[in-house]
Structure 1
Amino acid sequence: MKLSVLDQSPILLNHTPSQALKQTTELAKSADRLGYHRFWVSEHHSTKSLAGSAPEILVAHLAANTNHIRVGTGGILLPHYSAYKVAESFRVLETLHPKRIDLGVGRAPGGLPNVNLALNNGKHPSIEHYPRQVRELMAYVQGNDPYEMDVYATPVGETAPDIWMLGSSGTSARLSSELGTSYSFAHFINGYGGTRAMKRYYDHFTPSRQQTIPNGNVSVFAICAESKEKAEYLASSLDLALLKIEQGGQRDYFPSPEETTKYPYTLFEKERIQENRKRMVVGDPSQVKNELEVLAEGYGVNEIIINTIVYPFEERLRSYQLIAEAFQLSD
């Protein structure tokens, strides 16, 4: 089974955005050495605790600082942008790093409602145009002129980045199957309905110029440590962070486990934490390996994308290392 990484450049307690991006770079280098298959970065706007607001720029930096691992976006929020401009950006990336670039796209807003207005000149993006945008993007990336206006996404090359449709519902799975793209389900966002969405994608996949067979993966929060007890301790900071996000609270950083021990959880909050654990895999190496394999089997995929947010950063590196060793990625 292939293992990959999704990194959101989290800003940890007493850290700066600059440090967060440097940590993402260090993690990408480590993932490359450990044998991970791909490394994706996300797009978030006006978010104080996440530093990744321009993934296409970060992809260029990470690809230049790694050797073998595929690098891409998880993902570009297409309704905010011109499909043509996105295609040209990724044609440049593909020309610089042939056969190593992934173009993951999604339709989420990427932030609070006002973000939509700021990104679209004071207007709300038209989500209903998203399918057309993806079709345009696929055409331009593949070197076509979809409107016969003698307009091509340059630089033109022999290879093209792989387009992935990202989603957390059956709607995105249906569109991905119709257009013939690869499909990634965000289990770390929505722990329900993913297996049905993936089955729908596989069952109704339509071949395209990009690919003739379906290709799916699933992303999940995972935290691994030498012992189950330590993993639970480290996961407590993510528990609190997710809880605060659900409550609409703006935080400048991701908390430390020490902070969580002082937090006065209500009974309802404790129940929400247990519910959110359905989006996470937590444990020692053997436990995490087993649960990831079960997750992959349930989704019918041979690739899991791991998103790990823990404090301190060294434990994030260690978690990915332990999982890589458990799966013998470098062998």
Structure 2
Amino acid sequence: MSKTLKDAKFSVLDLSPITEGSTAAAAFKNSLDLAQHAEKWGYNRYWVAEHHSMPGIASSATSVLIGYIAGGTSKIRVGSGGIMLPNHAPLVIAEQFGTLESLYPNRIDLGLGRAPGSDQLTANALRRGGKRDGSDFPEMLEDLRQFLRPYEQTGLPVRAIPGEGLNIPIWLLGSSGFSAKLAAELGLPFAFASHFSSDYTIPALQIYHQNFKPSTVLEKPYVMVGANVIISETEEKAKYLATSSQQQFLSLIRGRPTQMMPPVENMDEIWSPYERSVVQQQLKSSIIGTQEIVAAKLEAFLKETQADEVIVNTALYSHQERLESFKLLKEIVM
């Protein structure tokens, strides 16, 4: 039976954007404000993502930011979308998330990816002495899971305290089939980055479903998909607001990442035809418009993906417009 808007859960993905002329401190305050509103509106979880060396993204110290947001809310689940595990020692992540779970019981999610969350030069700075391509991700994941198991089961000479024996849900994140297959084989929930890798969404979800093995964690597959969503009172205004995220992707293409820029009336004055095609390809799965337009497109998206949950990224220059977009989305889906 096809999934509908009322069947799926909806969550928030936040990169804690730093807008032009602003600061990381202001970005964090905005993130907490959005999380508090998301909790009030009934969103399921609030995830922040690890990125590095990005002037427009403040969420690089992801575990620290999770603690700040969890401390300022009371019931919404808070987690990582995700922690890029090859950037870290598994023991450190076990300790960090063991600390978070101890402080905020039954509210912490540990979403894991294998990309660096930045360019190769930054990856080299993060992964000194380690493999640069993330090929050791499965081994690192197993190490991490061992650290989180009860000591009575493992008898490890090195222990994650806090961490061991705590029930911290682990998700695998991906933008290709690699993590889809690994999540299926381990019986873990899977989150796919369809908000920037739309062409691989259905193949990856097929891999996950076809290879899924029930585990002590999950009896049946559980899928979350990412979506870029911008809602406003008119379609024209929503498209205008979306030019900020278009400019952000454009700066990445040019190799000169910037802070989140104000929206503009005409992107053709900024990008070349080639750049336009690249950005539009990258963001082609974005769902932009009025409540009616977005509701119809989200219904079609759920029908195609059959996802259990949608995690929404709304990258806007104006914090108030971002709040309004999530409020309008809540009216559609809840």
TM bucket normalised to smaller: over 0.9
- 8 Å Cα contact 2:24-2:58 kept in structure 1: yes
TM-score, structure 2 normalization: 0.91
Match of 1:292 among 295, 298, 321: 298
Aligned to 1:118: 125
- 8 Å Cα contact 2:149-2:165 kept in structure 1: no
Aligned to 2:9: 2
Aligned to 2:202: 195
Residues paired across the two proteins, number: 327
The code of the aligned residue for 1:302 comes to D
Taking structure 1 as reference, are residues 267 and 151 closer, same or farther at Cα in structure 2, changes over 3 Å only? closer
Aligned to 1:268: 274
1:32 partner SS: helix
Alignment of 1:208 onto 2:215: yes
Match of 1:250 among 257, 280, 284: 257
TM-score, structure 1 normalization: 0.92
Question: Which piece of structure 1 moves more, 280-289 or 108-117?
Answer: 108-117
Distance in 2 between the 1:262 and 1:314 partners? 26
Matches within 5 A, 1:17-166: 17-121=24-128, 124-125=131-132, 127-144=134-151, 148-155=155-162, 159-166=166-173
Distance in 2 between the 1:261 and 1:46 partners? 25
Q: What is the CA RMSD across the aligned residues, in angstroms? A: 2.0
Task: Please report how far the alpha carbon of residue 74 of structure 1 lies from its aligned counterpart in structure 2 after TM superposition.
Answer: 0.7
Taking structure 1 as reference, are residues 121 and 267 closer, same or farther at Cα in structure 2, changes over 3 Å only? closer
- 8 Å Cα contact 1:116-1:124 kept in structure 2: no
Question: Which piece of structure 1 moves more, 71-80 or 112-121?
Answer: 112-121
Alignment of 1:283 onto 2:289: yes
- 8 Å Cα contact 2:146-2:154 kept in structure 1: no
The code of the aligned residue for 1:318 comes to E
The code of the aligned residue for 2:317 comes to Y
Gaps of 5+ in 1: none
Distance in 2 between the 1:125 and 1:238 partners? 28
1:132 partner SS: helix
Task: Please report how far the alpha carbon of residue 275 of structure 1 lies from its aligned counterpart in structure 2 after TM superposition.
Answer: 2.2
Alignment of 1:179 onto 2:186: yes
2:199 partner SS: coil
Aligned to 1:321: 327
Question: Which piece of structure 1 moves more, 96-105 or 290-299?
Answer: 290-299
Task: Please report how far the alpha carbon of residue 187 of structure 1 lies from its aligned counterpart in structure 2 after TM superposition.
Answer: 0.9
Task: Please report how far the alpha carbon of residue 122 of structure 1 lies from its aligned counterpart in structure 2 after TM superposition.
Answer: 5.7
